[in-house]
Amino acid sequence: MDPAYRALGRAQSVRWTSTGVVLEAPPARLEIRCLAPDLIRVELIPRPDLPEPLPFSRSETEFPPPAVTQEEQDGRLILATEAVRVEIETDPIRLTFRDGEGRVIDRDDPELGMGWRYETVHTFRQAQPGERVYGLGEKTGHLDKRGRRWTMWARDVLPHLPTTDPLYQAIPFYLVWKEGRVHGFFLENTFRSHFDMDSDGSGRYHIWAEGGRLVYYLLAGPTFPQVLERYTQLTGRMPLPPRWSLGYHQSRWGYLTQQEVAEVARTFRERRLPCDVIHLDIDYMDGFRVFTWHPDRFPDPEALCARLKEQGFRVVTIVDPGVKKDPSYAFFQEGLEAGLYVEAPSGEPVTGQVWPGEVHFPDFLQERTRRWWGDAHRALLDRGVAGIWNDMNEPVIFDARDEDRTLPETAVHRTDQGEVRQHREVHNLYGLLMGKATYEGLRRLRPEERPFLLTRSGFAGIQRYAAVWTGDNSSWWEHLAMSIPMLLNLGLSGVAFVGPDIGGFSEDATPELMVRWMQLGAFYPFCRNHSAKTFRRQEPWTFGPEVEALAREALELRYQLLPYLYTRFWEAHTRGWPIMRPLVWHAPDDPVAARTEDAFFVGADLLVAPVLQPGARERLVYLPQGEWVDFWTGTCYEGGAHQVVEAPLERIPLFVRAGAALPLGPVIQHTGEAGWARLILRLFPGTRPSRWQGTLYEDDGASLAYEQGVSSRRSLQVTVETDRLLLEVGEPQGPYRPDREVIQVELPFLAEPPRQVRLDGRAVPTATLVDRERNLLRVALSQEGAHRLEIAW
Ligand code: MIG
């Protein structure tokens, strides 16, 4: 390390606080606080005059103080909760975190510890052999982030090469997995930061930020769900999105006129390709002025949105942050007169070139700017726009001098208290603050409806406001494959509602790539096909009838999965769990699962193994411990092993956890066509005894009543014995009632008709239940009440 580096030295004084301890080592001070039994906050203040971190990554959750014990032992301080023991050596100051059984969770590097060098703050942590690292937000590369150095600095960059870093999101949070145990590390620092995750193999993680205090949170886990629950308690959880936003979104940069948009929408319906949302990229605006419509090309947006709505489409419009410098443009003038733009140190607003030509950038750090911005969405919502898409919010400036193409680091933002904060401190927050402005604006403007916001840039906590798409990928097989680890790590970083541009943004997709991408895309939490102006179109019919037919099947599957998916969104909302999960999430002790990045879970019961190579008609799949049922054929596989599975072009390899009851809906063309009216519980009992438990969550899918508990939660349980299967459906909890009389239970892949079927204790003649052609048993349960369905052979 550089000789200018100062590691924290001897503690000159120690003061216990109610849940922690403060150590003075002038000029520095170290504060340690237990926020919860498994959540420890560490703050190094190298100099007394350094301000606190800007608070926007954290939610407003108050943590009730946990019980702690505080003692001194052999010159060391011990601060302990029921889950973590922090051992503090005082000369020099070094920390070790242990779990309740005394195992080391994480510890300072004994030599370098934590410290500072000029304005930068550092922590060096021991990297143990066998540890794998996940999270770090939106990154290229492998699922395991160890062995490379990563930077957090929101950046617009293309193409996404395997080494490209950073990208648009900056999420300074990671998880460490070792032998089934997991902990988390969150750096609460908005300056440019660096995560050297043992890139030279020296056995150290070196995390440092280019300014501010060193504030981090150690999340003790020791499971993935626990770490994510805590992390999202700290940084906030995703509100439930409107149900329509779980449908398929079609976008393209290059829909130039309102006729063209109407034509695209009409074609979806004509060709019976399910779709819920059409996105309007920058061309709808008048000279790229935000909150305007182009008078010739989009003369009647109200009629467009109304027409599309009749056909069951919602419209999402793009909104970029730069405001065109044009004295005749009232919105621009308002911002100028009120002093709402980011300024140069001279006091003049900063000017940069983006799509509109010269623009100024709103200073979203200020509440009054956020209000002004949020309210301006009236110009879009009043015309019938349903959702907003934020782009270029790193923010991007085309003519900036440095390769990061953004505002100068010395540009001036202001807090609500009037303090100056330089862009170098606010940069990483810019997308999140714009998201906050937009989300809160949408809630004010439409207080009865759930907002939908999509963003490119963001920081830790972005999940409170927006879904995230992963920016300008390319129509490459490599990017089809890379989307998996990228989304998995975003999910592990608290952002569950994620997806890349299906088909790829730049370059030309081939028909086969398009098929495979639509098949995988059906499982992305955020499912949008988008492409760039100068490359070939990607609407499903533009590749000929075969691709169209297969794309239709993929979309139909997506829509059938909605009841299952919606409950996963509810889990993300209530627990912070990802929707798309790495295999290791559900197989934490499995070292093969820990490095699998070519397959993933959606929720606990679906294992998706997409085809990621051209020409492949079979693939090798690693299935973790347990039994897995092929969704398409009913073939059962024993897990804990690799299997070669068939993958004809028509279908994506898909496996269901044996024992699970999968809630499915009908094939529909858009979510407005049917609510929860038809529900199928499809059973996949497998070949041997098992017990499975699940939940079905439903609500109106649109309003905010769910925040008041207006929803329906139902427990599902399946017990499989050698000659018998028992499905128990709990009574709906909560006041919401979907509009339906019955739930259809389906048992597919019947080898032989069952001997007996009993519903709620009464025998049902089996002959009436078996569909011999489809090899399927079907039983209807009434929607109300609790039910027991027994099927015996
Ligand atoms: O400079 O709005 O990532 O999705 O189509 C490019 C045009 C600006 C970048 C976004 C992309 C969008 C495009 N935008």
Do 742 and 630 lie in one domain? The reply is no
Q: What's the CA gap between 155 and 405, in Å, rounded?
A: 8
Backbone torsion region of residue 226, taken as left when φ is above 0, otherwise alpha when ψ lies between -120 and 50, otherwise beta? alpha
Distance 389 CA to ligand 1 centre (A): 11
pLDDT above 90 (res 781): yes
Do 630 and 664 lie in one domain? The reply is no
Query: Any idea what the CATH number is for the domain that residue 592 is in?
Result: 2.60.40.1180
pLDDT class for 767, splitting at 50, 70, 90? confident
Do 605 and 652 lie in one domain? The reply is yes
pLDDT above 80 (res 22): yes
707, part of any domain: yes
Which pLDDT value is given to residue 550? 98
Query: Any idea what the CATH number is for the domain that residue 97 is in?
Result: 2.60.40.1760
Residue among 526, 534, 531, 478 at smallest CA distance from 504: 531
Do 588 and 665 lie in one domain? The reply is no
Do 688 and 631 lie in one domain? The reply is no
Angle between helices 258-270 and 301-310 (to 10 degrees): 0
165 within ligand 1 shell (Cβ under 6 A): no
Atom of ligand 1 at shortest distance to CA of 391? 10
pLDDT class for 2, splitting at 50, 70, 90? confident
Question: How many Cβ atoms from other residues are within 10 Å of residue 319's Cβ?
Answer: 23
Structure confidence by residue, pLDDT tens digits, 316-352: 999 999 999 999 999 999 999 999 999 999 999 999 9
Give all strands of the β-sheet with 776-782 in edge-to-edge order: 661-664, 680-683, 742-747, 776-782, 770-771
375, part of any domain: no
Do 651 and 669 lie in one domain? The reply is no
Q: What's the domain count of the chain?
A: 3
Handedness of CA 190, 192, 198, 203 (dihedral sign): negative
782, part of any domain: yes
Active site residue 472: yes
> Taking residues 475-498, what's their average pLDDT?
98
Secondary element (H or E) of residue 258: helix 258-270
Average pLDDT across the chain, whole number? 97
Cβ burial of 242 (10 Å; 0-12, 13-18, 19+) is buried
Atom of ligand 1 at shortest distance to CA of 530? 4
Do 638 and 768 lie in one domain? The reply is no
228 is written with which tokens?
């994510």
Which pLDDT value is given to residue 285? 98
Which pLDDT value is given to residue 116? 98
Handedness of CA 589, 591, 594, 598 (dihedral sign): negative
108, part of any domain: yes
Distance 532 CA to ligand 1 centre (A): 7
Domain edge (last residue) among 201, 235, 269: 235
Active site residue 391: yes
251: three-class secondary structure by DSSP = coil
pLDDT class for 751, splitting at 50, 70, 90? confident
Domain, as residue range, for 788? 660-792
pLDDT class for 535, splitting at 50, 70, 90? very high
Among 156, 276, 472, 700, the active-site one is 472
382, part of any domain: no
For residues 487 and 527, the answer to whether their CB atoms sit within 8 Å is no
Residue among 641, 664, 645, 663 at smallest CA distance from 654: 645
Q: What does the DSSP 8-state code read for residue 576?
A: -
Atom of ligand 1 at shortest distance to CA of 320? 2
pLDDT above 90 (res 773): no
Domain edge (last residue) among 625, 657, 689: 657
391 within ligand 1 shell (Cβ under 6 A): yes
pLDDT above 80 (res 402): no
Do 618 and 672 lie in one domain? The reply is no
pLDDT class for 75, splitting at 50, 70, 90? confident
414 is written with which tokens?
């202001």
Among 394, 512, 548, 699, the active-site one is 394
- C-alpha distances in Å from residue 683, one per residue of 212, 726, 756: 54, 10, 17
Which pLDDT value is given to residue 652? 98
Structure confidence by residue, pLDDT tens digits, 432-452: 999 999 999 999 999 999 999
Range list of β-strands (E), 658-723: 661-664, 680-683, 690-698, 712-721
Structure confidence by residue, pLDDT tens digits, 27-45: 999 999 999 999 999 999 9
Do 667 and 630 lie in one domain? The reply is no
Which residue is closest in CA terms to ligand 1's atom 13? 253
- C-alpha distances in Å from residue 264, one per residue of 137, 216, 269, 541, 559: 34, 49, 9, 10, 20
793: three-class secondary structure by DSSP = coil
Do 72 and 202 lie in one domain? The reply is yes
70 Cβ partners below 8 Å, 6+ apart? 16, 21, 77, 78, 79, 80
Which residue is closest in CA terms to ligand 1's atom 6? 392
284 within ligand 1 shell (Cβ under 6 A): no
Do 652 and 666 lie in one domain? The reply is no
195, part of any domain: yes
Rg (CA), the chain: 27
pLDDT above 80 (res 675): yes
Q: C-alpha angle 122/125/131, rounded to 5°? A: 140
Distance 187 CA to ligand 1 centre (A): 30
Which pLDDT value is given to residue 74? 87
- C-alpha distances in Å from residue 687, one per residue of 272, 440, 776: 38, 51, 17
Share of the chain above pLDDT 90, in %: 97
631, part of any domain: yes
Do 606 and 743 lie in one domain? The reply is no
Which pLDDT value is given to residue 774? 86
Domain edge (last residue) among 636, 657, 678: 657
Pocket test for ligand 1, best of 281, 316, 389, 455 (most atoms within 8 A of CB): 281
pLDDT class for 403, splitting at 50, 70, 90? confident
Structure confidence by residue, pLDDT tens digits, 168-193: 999 999 999 999 999 999 999 999 99
> Taking residues 207-215, what's their average pLDDT?
98
The model's pTM is 0.98
748 is written with which tokens?
């597919």
608, part of any domain: yes
